[in-house]
A and B are shown apart, each in its own frame.
Chain A
Amino acid sequence: MNSSKLIRCFGAILSTAILGAVFAVCLTAPAFAQDAPDVGPKPPLVVKPMESHIGNITGHAADAKYDYRRYCAGCHGDYGDANGENAVWLDPKPRDFTIATFKCRSTLTGTLPTDEDLFNTLKRGIINSNMPIWNTFSNQQRADLVAYIKIFSPRWDKEKAGTPINVPAETPVTLESIAHGKELFTKLECWKCHGPHGEGDGPSASTLTDSKDNPIRPYNFALGKDDSRFKCGVTNEDVYKIFMTGVDGTPMPSFADVIQPNDAWDLVHFLRTLQIHRHSKENDVLMAAHGVIPPYVDKNPPAAAPAPADKAPGGGQ
Protein backbone atom coordinates (compact mmCIF):
# COMPACT_ATOMS: atom_id res chain seq x y z
CA MET A 1 0.00 0.00 0.00
CA ASN A 2 1.56 3.35 -1.02
CA SER A 3 1.25 6.52 1.02
CA SER A 4 -1.43 8.23 -1.15
CA LYS A 5 -3.62 5.14 -0.91
CA LEU A 6 -3.15 5.14 2.84
CA ILE A 7 -4.22 8.78 3.08
CA ARG A 8 -7.30 8.12 0.93
CA CYS A 9 -8.23 5.15 3.08
CA PHE A 10 -7.76 7.17 6.24
CA GLY A 11 -9.89 9.98 4.78
CA ALA A 12 -12.71 7.55 4.04
CA ILE A 13 -12.62 6.22 7.60
CA LEU A 14 -12.56 9.77 8.97
CA SER A 15 -15.52 10.95 6.90
CA THR A 16 -17.52 7.88 7.91
CA ALA A 17 -16.73 8.60 11.53
CA ILE A 18 -17.80 12.25 11.20
CA LEU A 19 -21.01 11.23 9.45
CA GLY A 20 -21.68 8.71 12.21
CA ALA A 21 -21.07 11.29 14.90
CA VAL A 22 -23.40 13.79 13.21
CA PHE A 23 -26.02 11.08 12.88
CA ALA A 24 -25.69 10.19 16.56
CA VAL A 25 -26.07 13.84 17.58
CA CYS A 26 -29.20 14.14 15.41
CA LEU A 27 -30.66 11.07 17.08
CA THR A 28 -30.02 12.26 20.62
CA ALA A 29 -30.81 15.93 20.00
CA PRO A 30 -34.52 15.67 20.94
CA ALA A 31 -33.53 14.16 24.29
CA PHE A 32 -31.29 17.16 24.96
CA ALA A 33 -34.03 19.53 23.92
CA GLN A 34 -36.41 18.14 26.56
CA ASP A 35 -34.02 18.77 29.44
CA ALA A 36 -33.62 22.25 30.81
CA PRO A 37 -30.20 23.33 29.53
CA ASP A 38 -29.06 24.97 32.77
CA VAL A 39 -29.77 21.96 35.00
CA GLY A 40 -26.88 19.81 33.86
CA PRO A 41 -26.44 16.20 34.87
CA LYS A 42 -28.21 15.05 38.01
CA PRO A 43 -25.97 14.91 41.07
CA PRO A 44 -24.93 11.43 42.17
CA LEU A 45 -27.47 9.82 44.44
CA VAL A 46 -26.55 9.87 48.11
CA VAL A 47 -27.78 6.76 49.90
CA LYS A 48 -28.54 8.18 53.33
CA PRO A 49 -28.23 5.69 56.18
CA MET A 50 -32.01 5.25 56.56
CA GLU A 51 -33.44 2.38 58.53
CA SER A 52 -36.75 0.56 58.86
CA HIS A 53 -38.03 -1.49 61.77
CA ILE A 54 -40.59 -4.20 61.16
CA GLY A 55 -41.04 -6.47 64.15
CA ASN A 56 -37.53 -7.68 64.99
CA ILE A 57 -36.20 -7.02 61.49
CA THR A 58 -34.13 -3.91 60.86
CA GLY A 59 -33.83 -2.79 57.26
CA HIS A 60 -30.84 -0.81 55.98
CA ALA A 61 -31.04 1.42 52.92
CA ALA A 62 -27.49 0.60 51.83
CA ASP A 63 -28.37 -3.10 51.57
CA ALA A 64 -31.24 -2.43 49.13
CA LYS A 65 -29.14 -0.60 46.55
CA TYR A 66 -28.97 -3.55 44.21
CA ASP A 67 -32.56 -4.68 44.67
CA TYR A 68 -33.92 -1.17 44.08
CA ARG A 69 -31.86 -0.80 40.93
CA ARG A 70 -32.89 -4.25 39.70
CA TYR A 71 -36.61 -4.37 40.62
CA CYS A 72 -37.90 -0.85 41.41
CA ALA A 73 -36.00 1.74 39.37
CA GLY A 74 -37.61 0.64 36.08
CA CYS A 75 -40.85 2.32 37.14
CA HIS A 76 -40.06 4.43 40.20
CA GLY A 77 -36.87 5.83 38.68
CA ASP A 78 -33.25 5.90 39.87
CA TYR A 79 -34.03 9.06 41.81
CA GLY A 80 -37.37 7.80 43.15
CA ASP A 81 -39.18 10.51 41.21
CA ALA A 82 -41.57 8.13 39.36
CA ASN A 83 -39.66 8.78 36.14
CA GLY A 84 -38.45 5.27 35.43
CA GLU A 85 -38.27 4.28 31.78
CA ASN A 86 -41.52 2.26 32.06
CA ALA A 87 -43.46 5.01 33.85
CA VAL A 88 -44.88 6.58 30.68
CA TRP A 89 -46.64 3.31 29.85
CA LEU A 90 -48.23 2.83 33.26
CA ASP A 91 -51.69 3.72 34.52
CA PRO A 92 -52.00 4.50 37.37
CA LYS A 93 -48.55 6.09 37.59
CA PRO A 94 -45.90 4.74 39.97
CA ARG A 95 -45.49 6.43 43.36
CA ASP A 96 -43.21 9.45 43.46
CA PHE A 97 -41.01 8.83 46.51
CA THR A 98 -39.65 12.38 46.42
CA ILE A 99 -42.96 13.75 47.75
CA ALA A 100 -43.49 10.85 50.19
CA THR A 101 -47.26 10.67 49.68
CA PHE A 102 -48.43 7.08 50.13
CA LYS A 103 -51.76 5.43 49.40
CA CYS A 104 -51.83 2.60 51.91
CA ARG A 105 -51.44 3.83 55.46
CA SER A 106 -52.69 2.95 58.90
CA THR A 107 -51.96 6.59 59.82
CA LEU A 108 -54.03 9.75 59.33
CA THR A 109 -54.16 11.60 56.03
CA GLY A 110 -51.14 13.82 55.38
CA THR A 111 -48.85 11.85 57.70
CA LEU A 112 -46.06 9.45 56.80
CA PRO A 113 -46.95 5.75 56.83
CA THR A 114 -45.41 3.33 59.30
CA ASP A 115 -42.66 0.96 58.20
CA GLU A 116 -45.19 -1.89 58.47
CA ASP A 117 -47.54 -0.09 56.07
CA LEU A 118 -44.81 0.15 53.41
CA PHE A 119 -43.64 -3.40 54.12
CA ASN A 120 -47.20 -4.69 53.65
CA THR A 121 -47.54 -2.84 50.35
CA LEU A 122 -44.42 -4.61 49.08
CA LYS A 123 -45.79 -7.89 50.35
CA ARG A 124 -49.22 -7.72 48.73
CA GLY A 125 -48.68 -5.44 45.73
CA ILE A 126 -51.38 -3.03 44.60
CA ILE A 127 -54.28 -4.48 42.65
CA ASN A 128 -55.49 -2.62 39.54
CA SER A 129 -52.00 -1.19 39.15
CA ASN A 130 -48.65 -2.43 37.88
CA MET A 131 -47.21 -2.88 41.36
CA PRO A 132 -46.77 -6.66 41.67
CA ILE A 133 -46.71 -8.89 44.72
CA TRP A 134 -43.06 -9.11 45.68
CA ASN A 135 -43.31 -12.61 47.10
CA THR A 136 -39.89 -13.61 45.82
CA PHE A 137 -38.29 -11.26 48.33
CA SER A 138 -37.29 -12.26 51.81
CA ASN A 139 -38.64 -10.18 54.69
CA GLN A 140 -35.15 -8.76 55.12
CA GLN A 141 -35.05 -7.62 51.48
CA ARG A 142 -38.46 -5.96 51.87
CA ALA A 143 -37.35 -4.22 55.05
CA ASP A 144 -34.18 -2.96 53.32
CA LEU A 145 -36.26 -1.59 50.43
CA VAL A 146 -38.60 0.18 52.86
CA ALA A 147 -35.52 1.89 54.30
CA TYR A 148 -34.22 2.66 50.81
CA ILE A 149 -37.29 4.57 49.59
CA LYS A 150 -36.83 6.95 52.54
CA ILE A 151 -33.65 8.38 51.01
CA PHE A 152 -35.63 10.23 48.33
CA SER A 153 -37.67 12.68 50.43
CA PRO A 154 -36.41 15.08 53.12
CA ARG A 155 -39.70 14.48 54.93
CA TRP A 156 -38.22 11.27 56.36
CA ASP A 157 -35.41 13.29 57.99
CA LYS A 158 -37.73 15.76 59.66
CA GLU A 159 -40.98 13.93 60.37
CA LYS A 160 -41.86 10.83 62.27
CA ALA A 161 -44.35 8.34 60.89
CA GLY A 162 -47.94 9.02 61.92
CA THR A 163 -49.60 7.13 64.75
CA PRO A 164 -51.70 4.22 63.50
CA ILE A 165 -55.41 4.83 63.98
CA ASN A 166 -57.19 2.89 66.66
CA VAL A 167 -59.29 0.10 65.15
CA PRO A 168 -61.74 -1.22 67.76
CA ALA A 169 -62.88 -4.85 67.78
CA GLU A 170 -65.23 -5.63 64.91
CA THR A 171 -68.93 -5.44 65.73
CA PRO A 172 -71.21 -8.40 64.84
CA VAL A 173 -72.42 -8.63 61.24
CA THR A 174 -76.17 -8.10 61.39
CA LEU A 175 -78.79 -6.94 58.93
CA GLU A 176 -79.15 -3.79 61.02
CA SER A 177 -75.43 -3.12 60.78
CA ILE A 178 -75.56 -3.51 57.00
CA ALA A 179 -78.61 -1.23 56.83
CA HIS A 180 -76.79 1.44 58.84
CA GLY A 181 -73.77 1.06 56.60
CA LYS A 182 -75.96 1.65 53.58
CA GLU A 183 -77.37 4.75 55.26
CA LEU A 184 -73.80 6.04 55.77
CA PHE A 185 -72.84 5.16 52.19
CA THR A 186 -75.73 7.37 51.05
CA LYS A 187 -75.28 10.15 53.58
CA LEU A 188 -71.52 10.48 53.21
CA GLU A 189 -72.01 10.40 49.44
CA CYS A 190 -69.59 7.58 48.73
CA TRP A 191 -71.86 6.84 45.76
CA LYS A 192 -70.99 10.15 44.07
CA CYS A 193 -67.81 8.45 42.88
CA HIS A 194 -68.22 4.74 43.61
CA GLY A 195 -71.76 4.60 42.18
CA PRO A 196 -75.03 3.55 43.87
CA HIS A 197 -74.06 -0.14 43.54
CA GLY A 198 -70.35 0.38 44.14
CA GLU A 199 -69.49 -0.28 40.53
CA GLY A 200 -67.28 2.78 40.22
CA ASP A 201 -69.78 4.62 38.05
CA GLY A 202 -71.00 7.51 40.23
CA PRO A 203 -71.80 10.92 38.72
CA SER A 204 -68.32 12.30 39.54
CA ALA A 205 -66.42 9.16 38.53
CA SER A 206 -65.48 10.29 35.04
CA THR A 207 -64.03 13.59 36.27
CA LEU A 208 -61.58 12.20 38.83
CA THR A 209 -57.88 12.95 38.67
CA ASP A 210 -55.06 12.13 41.05
CA SER A 211 -52.82 14.76 42.65
CA LYS A 212 -50.67 14.88 39.52
CA ASP A 213 -53.71 15.48 37.31
CA ASN A 214 -53.74 12.02 35.79
CA PRO A 215 -57.21 10.48 35.32
CA ILE A 216 -58.02 7.86 37.94
CA ARG A 217 -60.92 5.45 38.43
CA PRO A 218 -62.83 4.89 41.66
CA TYR A 219 -62.76 1.33 43.00
CA ASN A 220 -65.33 -1.04 41.51
CA PHE A 221 -66.54 -3.25 44.37
CA ALA A 222 -68.50 -5.59 42.11
CA LEU A 223 -65.45 -6.85 40.19
CA GLY A 224 -63.73 -10.08 41.07
CA LYS A 225 -64.91 -13.12 42.96
CA ASP A 226 -63.43 -14.69 46.06
CA ASP A 227 -60.02 -13.35 45.02
CA SER A 228 -61.42 -9.84 45.13
CA ARG A 229 -59.14 -7.49 47.04
CA PHE A 230 -58.64 -3.81 47.64
CA LYS A 231 -55.63 -1.66 46.82
CA CYS A 232 -54.63 -1.68 50.47
CA GLY A 233 -55.55 -5.15 51.63
CA VAL A 234 -58.18 -7.86 51.84
CA THR A 235 -59.44 -8.03 55.43
CA ASN A 236 -62.33 -6.11 56.99
CA GLU A 237 -59.76 -4.25 59.07
CA ASP A 238 -57.98 -3.17 55.88
CA VAL A 239 -61.27 -1.83 54.47
CA TYR A 240 -61.84 0.04 57.74
CA LYS A 241 -58.41 1.67 57.49
CA ILE A 242 -58.79 2.56 53.80
CA PHE A 243 -61.76 4.89 54.22
CA MET A 244 -60.79 6.16 57.66
CA THR A 245 -57.25 7.23 56.65
CA GLY A 246 -58.02 7.99 53.00
CA VAL A 247 -55.91 7.08 49.99
CA ASP A 248 -53.45 9.98 49.82
CA GLY A 249 -52.55 11.32 46.39
CA THR A 250 -55.94 10.23 45.03
CA PRO A 251 -59.46 11.74 45.27
CA MET A 252 -60.36 9.33 48.11
CA PRO A 253 -60.56 11.47 51.27
CA SER A 254 -60.16 10.52 54.90
CA PHE A 255 -63.36 10.01 56.91
CA ALA A 256 -61.61 9.71 60.27
CA ASP A 257 -63.08 13.00 61.51
CA VAL A 258 -66.65 12.24 60.46
CA ILE A 259 -67.35 8.53 61.13
CA GLN A 260 -67.57 7.12 64.65
CA PRO A 261 -65.56 3.89 65.13
CA ASN A 262 -68.57 1.56 65.49
CA ASP A 263 -70.37 3.24 62.62
CA ALA A 264 -67.27 2.58 60.53
CA TRP A 265 -67.73 -1.17 61.06
CA ASP A 266 -71.31 -0.84 59.81
CA LEU A 267 -69.97 0.80 56.66
CA VAL A 268 -67.42 -2.01 56.24
CA HIS A 269 -70.26 -4.56 56.48
CA PHE A 270 -72.29 -2.77 53.83
CA LEU A 271 -69.28 -2.40 51.50
CA ARG A 272 -68.81 -6.18 51.66
CA THR A 273 -72.33 -6.68 50.29
CA LEU A 274 -71.32 -4.62 47.23
CA GLN A 275 -68.84 -7.40 46.40
CA ILE A 276 -71.66 -9.46 44.96
CA HIS A 277 -69.51 -12.35 43.68
CA ARG A 278 -67.45 -12.76 46.83
CA HIS A 279 -68.47 -15.15 49.60
CA SER A 280 -68.62 -13.33 52.91
CA LYS A 281 -70.52 -13.46 56.18
CA GLU A 282 -72.06 -10.13 55.20
CA ASN A 283 -73.46 -11.62 51.98
CA ASP A 284 -74.69 -14.67 53.94
CA VAL A 285 -76.63 -12.41 56.30
CA LEU A 286 -78.05 -10.51 53.36
CA MET A 287 -78.98 -13.73 51.53
CA ALA A 288 -80.83 -14.93 54.63
CA ALA A 289 -82.90 -11.75 54.37
CA HIS A 290 -83.60 -12.51 50.68
CA GLY A 291 -81.16 -9.85 49.56
CA VAL A 292 -83.23 -6.95 50.83
CA ILE A 293 -81.59 -4.30 52.99
CA PRO A 294 -84.32 -2.77 55.18
CA PRO A 295 -84.40 1.01 55.69
CA TYR A 296 -82.26 2.00 58.63
CA VAL A 297 -84.14 3.16 61.74
CA ASP A 298 -82.09 5.26 64.13
CA LYS A 299 -82.89 4.18 67.68
CA ASN A 300 -81.30 7.30 69.17
CA PRO A 301 -82.10 10.05 66.68
CA PRO A 302 -80.13 13.27 67.17
CA ALA A 303 -82.04 16.33 68.40
CA ALA A 304 -81.83 18.16 65.11
CA ALA A 305 -82.10 15.82 62.17
CA PRO A 306 -79.82 16.78 59.28
CA ALA A 307 -81.46 17.71 56.01
CA PRO A 308 -82.02 14.75 53.68
CA ALA A 309 -79.61 14.14 50.84
CA ASP A 310 -80.72 15.22 47.41
CA LYS A 311 -80.82 11.84 45.87
CA ALA A 312 -81.02 8.51 47.58
CA PRO A 313 -79.12 5.91 45.61
CA GLY A 314 -80.04 2.26 45.45
CA GLY A 315 -77.62 -0.21 46.91
CA GLY A 316 -77.48 -3.79 47.89
CA GLN A 317 -78.68 -6.21 45.29
Chain B
Amino acid sequence: MRTKKMQFVFLTLLASSSLMFAGTVTGKVTYTGTPVKPKTIDMSKEPSCAKQHATPITTESVVTGPNNALENVVVYISSGAPDDGQVPAQAVTFDQKGCQYLPHVLVMHTDQELKISNDDQTSHNIHPLAKVNTEWNKSQPPGTPPIVTKYDKPEFISVKCNIHPWMHGEFAVLKTNHFDVSKGGGDFKLPNLPPGKYTITAWQEDYGTQTADVTITGNESKEVNFTFKAKAY
Protein backbone atom coordinates (compact mmCIF):
# COMPACT_ATOMS: atom_id res chain seq x y z
CA MET B 1 0.00 0.00 0.00
CA ARG B 2 2.71 2.38 1.04
CA THR B 3 4.80 1.62 -2.00
CA LYS B 4 1.75 2.17 -4.20
CA LYS B 5 1.22 5.59 -2.66
CA MET B 6 4.87 6.43 -3.16
CA GLN B 7 4.56 5.27 -6.76
CA PHE B 8 1.54 7.52 -7.27
CA VAL B 9 3.34 10.54 -5.85
CA PHE B 10 6.34 9.77 -7.99
CA LEU B 11 4.23 9.42 -11.13
CA THR B 12 2.39 12.66 -10.43
CA LEU B 13 5.68 14.44 -9.97
CA LEU B 14 6.97 12.93 -13.17
CA ALA B 15 3.87 13.99 -15.08
CA SER B 16 4.04 17.55 -13.87
CA SER B 17 7.78 17.75 -14.36
CA SER B 18 7.43 18.41 -18.07
CA LEU B 19 5.44 21.52 -17.18
CA MET B 20 7.45 22.57 -14.15
CA PHE B 21 10.92 21.85 -15.45
CA ALA B 22 11.09 24.35 -18.26
CA GLY B 23 14.49 25.21 -19.59
CA THR B 24 15.80 28.61 -20.47
CA VAL B 25 18.32 29.65 -23.05
CA THR B 26 20.11 32.89 -22.37
CA GLY B 27 23.01 34.52 -24.11
CA LYS B 28 24.64 37.55 -25.59
CA VAL B 29 24.97 38.77 -29.14
CA THR B 30 28.25 40.49 -29.89
CA TYR B 31 30.31 41.51 -32.90
CA THR B 32 33.94 41.37 -33.92
CA GLY B 33 35.64 43.88 -36.15
CA THR B 34 34.57 47.46 -36.77
CA PRO B 35 30.94 48.03 -37.59
CA VAL B 36 29.85 50.89 -39.80
CA LYS B 37 29.20 54.06 -37.81
CA PRO B 38 25.55 55.12 -37.52
CA LYS B 39 24.85 58.08 -39.81
CA THR B 40 23.03 61.17 -38.60
CA ILE B 41 19.69 61.57 -40.38
CA ASP B 42 18.94 64.96 -41.89
CA MET B 43 15.19 65.55 -41.61
CA SER B 44 15.27 69.19 -42.68
CA LYS B 45 13.00 68.34 -45.62
CA GLU B 46 10.32 67.33 -43.11
CA PRO B 47 10.28 70.03 -40.38
CA SER B 48 7.27 68.55 -38.56
CA CYS B 49 9.38 65.44 -37.92
CA ALA B 50 12.71 67.19 -37.36
CA LYS B 51 11.30 69.22 -34.48
CA GLN B 52 10.23 66.03 -32.67
CA HIS B 53 13.86 65.09 -32.10
CA ALA B 54 15.86 67.22 -29.66
CA THR B 55 19.02 65.73 -31.16
CA PRO B 56 18.98 64.28 -34.67
CA ILE B 57 18.48 60.52 -34.75
CA THR B 58 20.88 58.13 -36.43
CA THR B 59 20.48 55.13 -38.72
CA GLU B 60 19.55 51.93 -36.90
CA SER B 61 20.66 49.14 -39.21
CA VAL B 62 23.54 48.33 -36.83
CA VAL B 63 23.00 49.34 -33.18
CA THR B 64 25.81 48.54 -30.80
CA GLY B 65 26.18 48.65 -27.01
CA PRO B 66 29.11 48.51 -24.59
CA ASN B 67 31.52 45.54 -24.78
CA ASN B 68 30.81 44.89 -28.46
CA ALA B 69 27.15 44.17 -27.74
CA LEU B 70 24.85 44.00 -30.75
CA GLU B 71 21.26 45.19 -30.34
CA ASN B 72 18.15 44.60 -32.45
CA VAL B 73 19.14 41.02 -33.27
CA VAL B 74 16.17 38.67 -33.51
CA VAL B 75 16.95 35.40 -31.70
CA TYR B 76 14.37 32.67 -32.14
CA ILE B 77 13.79 28.94 -32.13
CA SER B 78 13.85 28.03 -35.80
CA SER B 79 13.36 24.31 -35.36
CA GLY B 80 11.96 22.12 -32.59
CA ALA B 81 9.73 24.83 -31.12
CA PRO B 82 6.76 23.26 -29.39
CA ASP B 83 4.09 25.83 -30.30
CA ASP B 84 3.99 25.93 -34.10
CA GLY B 85 0.67 27.33 -35.18
CA GLN B 86 -0.28 29.12 -31.96
CA VAL B 87 -1.03 32.61 -33.20
CA PRO B 88 -1.19 35.23 -30.43
CA ALA B 89 -4.61 36.91 -30.28
CA GLN B 90 -3.12 40.30 -29.52
CA ALA B 91 -2.02 42.51 -32.39
CA VAL B 92 1.51 43.83 -32.76
CA THR B 93 1.83 47.54 -33.43
CA PHE B 94 4.17 49.44 -35.71
CA ASP B 95 4.20 53.21 -35.27
CA GLN B 96 5.47 55.98 -37.48
CA LYS B 97 6.52 58.78 -35.15
CA GLY B 98 8.94 61.58 -35.89
CA CYS B 99 9.53 59.99 -39.31
CA GLN B 100 10.96 56.94 -37.59
CA TYR B 101 9.63 53.40 -37.24
CA LEU B 102 8.91 52.30 -33.68
CA PRO B 103 10.11 49.67 -33.12
CA HIS B 104 12.86 49.43 -35.70
CA VAL B 105 12.59 45.63 -35.72
CA LEU B 106 9.12 44.22 -35.17
CA VAL B 107 8.67 40.50 -34.58
CA MET B 108 5.32 38.89 -35.27
CA HIS B 109 3.88 35.42 -35.69
CA THR B 110 2.54 34.33 -39.06
CA ASP B 111 -1.14 35.34 -39.30
CA GLN B 112 -0.83 37.58 -36.25
CA GLU B 113 -2.64 40.88 -36.61
CA LEU B 114 -0.34 43.78 -37.45
CA LYS B 115 -1.48 47.36 -36.83
CA ILE B 116 0.41 50.16 -38.54
CA SER B 117 -0.35 53.70 -37.41
CA ASN B 118 0.84 57.16 -38.33
CA ASP B 119 1.35 59.56 -35.42
CA ASP B 120 2.96 62.23 -37.59
CA GLN B 121 1.58 65.39 -39.16
CA THR B 122 2.82 64.25 -42.55
CA SER B 123 1.81 61.53 -45.00
CA HIS B 124 3.79 58.32 -45.06
CA ASN B 125 3.64 55.48 -47.48
CA ILE B 126 4.20 52.08 -45.93
CA HIS B 127 6.04 49.88 -48.36
CA PRO B 128 7.07 46.48 -46.94
CA LEU B 129 9.32 44.93 -49.59
CA ALA B 130 8.04 41.38 -49.18
CA LYS B 131 9.32 38.72 -51.55
CA VAL B 132 7.85 35.52 -50.15
CA ASN B 133 4.69 37.23 -48.94
CA THR B 134 2.78 39.70 -51.08
CA GLU B 135 4.31 43.12 -51.64
CA TRP B 136 1.96 46.09 -51.22
CA ASN B 137 2.36 49.84 -50.86
CA LYS B 138 -0.18 52.09 -49.15
CA SER B 139 -0.43 55.78 -48.43
CA GLN B 140 -1.27 56.78 -44.85
CA PRO B 141 -1.95 60.51 -44.42
CA PRO B 142 -2.09 62.04 -40.91
CA GLY B 143 -5.21 61.27 -38.92
CA THR B 144 -6.19 58.16 -40.89
CA PRO B 145 -7.06 54.94 -39.06
CA PRO B 146 -4.38 52.26 -38.62
CA ILE B 147 -3.72 49.83 -41.45
CA VAL B 148 -4.56 46.35 -40.17
CA THR B 149 -2.98 43.45 -41.99
CA LYS B 150 -1.03 40.20 -41.49
CA TYR B 151 1.54 38.00 -43.18
CA ASP B 152 0.93 34.31 -43.71
CA LYS B 153 4.46 33.10 -44.50
CA PRO B 154 7.64 33.41 -42.40
CA GLU B 155 9.95 36.06 -43.86
CA PHE B 156 12.23 38.96 -42.94
CA ILE B 157 10.73 41.99 -44.67
CA SER B 158 12.40 45.39 -45.07
CA VAL B 159 9.98 48.27 -44.67
CA LYS B 160 10.48 51.66 -46.23
CA CYS B 161 8.71 54.95 -46.78
CA ASN B 162 9.46 56.25 -50.26
CA ILE B 163 8.50 59.81 -49.29
CA HIS B 164 11.04 59.86 -46.44
CA PRO B 165 13.90 57.73 -47.75
CA TRP B 166 15.73 57.60 -44.42
CA MET B 167 12.85 55.65 -42.85
CA HIS B 168 13.75 51.99 -42.61
CA GLY B 169 12.38 49.19 -40.48
CA GLU B 170 12.21 45.42 -40.46
CA PHE B 171 9.38 42.95 -39.99
CA ALA B 172 10.42 39.52 -38.72
CA VAL B 173 7.54 37.15 -39.43
CA LEU B 174 8.20 33.93 -37.52
CA LYS B 175 6.41 30.64 -37.05
CA THR B 176 7.19 30.57 -33.35
CA ASN B 177 6.42 32.50 -30.18
CA HIS B 178 9.85 31.69 -28.72
CA PHE B 179 11.86 34.72 -29.72
CA ASP B 180 13.62 37.73 -28.26
CA VAL B 181 15.22 40.85 -29.66
CA SER B 182 18.62 41.61 -28.16
CA LYS B 183 18.65 44.69 -25.97
CA GLY B 184 21.24 47.19 -24.77
CA GLY B 185 23.80 44.69 -23.52
CA GLY B 186 23.19 42.33 -26.44
CA ASP B 187 21.32 40.05 -24.03
CA PHE B 188 18.50 37.75 -24.98
CA LYS B 189 16.44 35.18 -23.12
CA LEU B 190 14.27 32.35 -24.41
CA PRO B 191 12.32 30.99 -21.41
CA ASN B 192 9.73 28.20 -20.99
CA LEU B 193 11.38 25.59 -23.17
CA PRO B 194 10.25 22.02 -22.48
CA PRO B 195 12.93 19.33 -22.80
CA GLY B 196 13.94 18.80 -26.39
CA LYS B 197 16.41 19.55 -29.15
CA TYR B 198 16.28 23.03 -30.61
CA THR B 199 17.91 25.05 -33.31
CA ILE B 200 18.32 28.68 -32.35
CA THR B 201 18.75 31.28 -35.06
CA ALA B 202 20.03 34.82 -34.63
CA TRP B 203 19.24 37.27 -37.41
CA GLN B 204 20.76 40.69 -37.93
CA GLU B 205 19.45 42.74 -40.86
CA ASP B 206 22.90 43.55 -42.30
CA TYR B 207 24.91 40.57 -41.11
CA GLY B 208 22.51 37.73 -41.89
CA THR B 209 21.83 34.66 -39.77
CA GLN B 210 23.70 32.34 -37.44
CA THR B 211 22.42 29.16 -35.90
CA ALA B 212 23.25 27.05 -32.87
CA ASP B 213 21.87 23.73 -31.64
CA VAL B 214 20.95 23.28 -28.01
CA THR B 215 19.43 20.40 -26.03
CA ILE B 216 17.28 21.08 -22.99
CA THR B 217 16.94 18.09 -20.68
CA GLY B 218 15.08 19.55 -17.71
CA ASN B 219 14.86 22.58 -15.52
CA GLU B 220 18.10 24.08 -16.65
CA SER B 221 19.50 27.25 -18.07
CA LYS B 222 21.82 27.01 -21.04
CA GLU B 223 23.97 29.72 -22.43
CA VAL B 224 24.31 30.28 -26.15
CA ASN B 225 26.27 33.20 -27.52
CA PHE B 226 26.35 34.56 -31.04
CA THR B 227 29.17 36.58 -32.55
CA PHE B 228 28.69 38.37 -35.85
CA LYS B 229 31.50 39.62 -38.00
CA ALA B 230 30.92 43.32 -38.53
CA LYS B 231 30.88 44.64 -42.07
CA ALA B 232 32.88 47.80 -42.54
CA TYR B 233 30.47 49.23 -45.14
Contact = CB atoms under 8 A, between A and B. Distances in A.
Given A99-B131, A109-B136, A307 B121 contact: yes
B125 interface: yes
Given A110-B135, A307-B121, A310-B48, A258 B162 contact: no
Nearest to B144: A258
Contacts of B163: 189, 192-193, 204, 251
A253 B135 contact: no
A189 B141 contact: yes
A254 B137 contact: yes
Nearest to B129: A211
A101 B137 CA distance: 11
Interface in A98-114: 99, 101, 109-111
Interface string B154-166: 0000000011110
Contact of B135 (A192, A208, A249, A258): A249
A192 B162 CA distance: 10
A309 B141 CA distance: 11
B111 to A, nearest CB: 16
Given A211-B129, A310-B121, A254 B48 contact: no
Given A187-B141, A257-B147, A204 B121 contact: no
B147 A110 contact: no
Contacts of A110: 134-136
Contact of A251 (B140, B143, B162): B162
A207 B162 CA distance: 8
B136 A254 contact: yes
A254 B123 CA distance: 13
B94 to A, nearest CB: 16
Contacts of A209: 162
Given A309-B122, A310-B121, A254 B138 contact: yes
Interface in A75-131: 99, 101, 109-111
Interface size class of B (residues with CB under 8 A): 20 to 34
Contacts of B164: 204
Interface in A186-206: 187-189, 192-193, 203-204
A248 B121 contact: no
Given A204-B163, A258-B140, A306-B143, A189 B122 contact: yes
A246 interface: yes
Nearest to A110: B136
A255 interface: yes
Nearest to B50: A310
Contacts of A101: 135
B127 A188 contact: no
Given A192-B163, A204-B164, A211 B135 contact: yes
B165 A204 contact: yes
Interface size class of A (residues with CB under 8 A): 20 to 34
Interface of chain B, helix or strand or loop or mixed?
Answer: loop
Contact of B162 (A111, A187, A193, A307): A193
A204 B162 contact: yes
Contacts of B147: 257
Given A252-B137, A253-B137, A307 B142 contact: yes
Contacts of B47: 310
A193 B124 CA distance: 12
B46 interface: yes
A109 B135 CA distance: 8
Interface in B11-51: 45-48
B136 A248 contact: yes
Contacts of B123: 188-189, 192
B127 A203 contact: no
Contacts of B143: 306
Contacts of A109: 136-138
Interface string A194-235: 000000000110011101000000000000000000000000
Contacts of A246: 136-139
A251 B48 contact: no
A249 B131 CA distance: 11
18 contacts: A99-B135, A111-B134, A188-B141, A189-B123, A192-B163, A211-B135, A246-B138, A251-B162, A254-B136, A254-B137, A254-B138, A257-B139, A258-B139, A307-B142, A310-B46, A310-B48, A310-B121, A310-B122
- Considering the complex of A and B, which 10 residue pairs feature the smallest CB-CB distances, nearest first? A110-B136, A251-B162, A253-B125, A207-B165, A189-B123, A253-B139, A109-B136, A253-B137, A110-B134, A192-B163
Given A188-B141, A251-B125, 16 more contacts: A110-B135, A110-B136, A111-B134, A155-B134, A189-B122, A189-B141, A203-B45, A204-B162, A208-B165, A246-B138, A251-B127, A253-B126, A257-B139, A258-B140, A258-B141, A309-B122
Interface of A: 99, 101, 109-111, 155, 187-189, 192-193, 203-204, 207-209, 211, 246, 248-255, 257-258, 306-307, 309-310
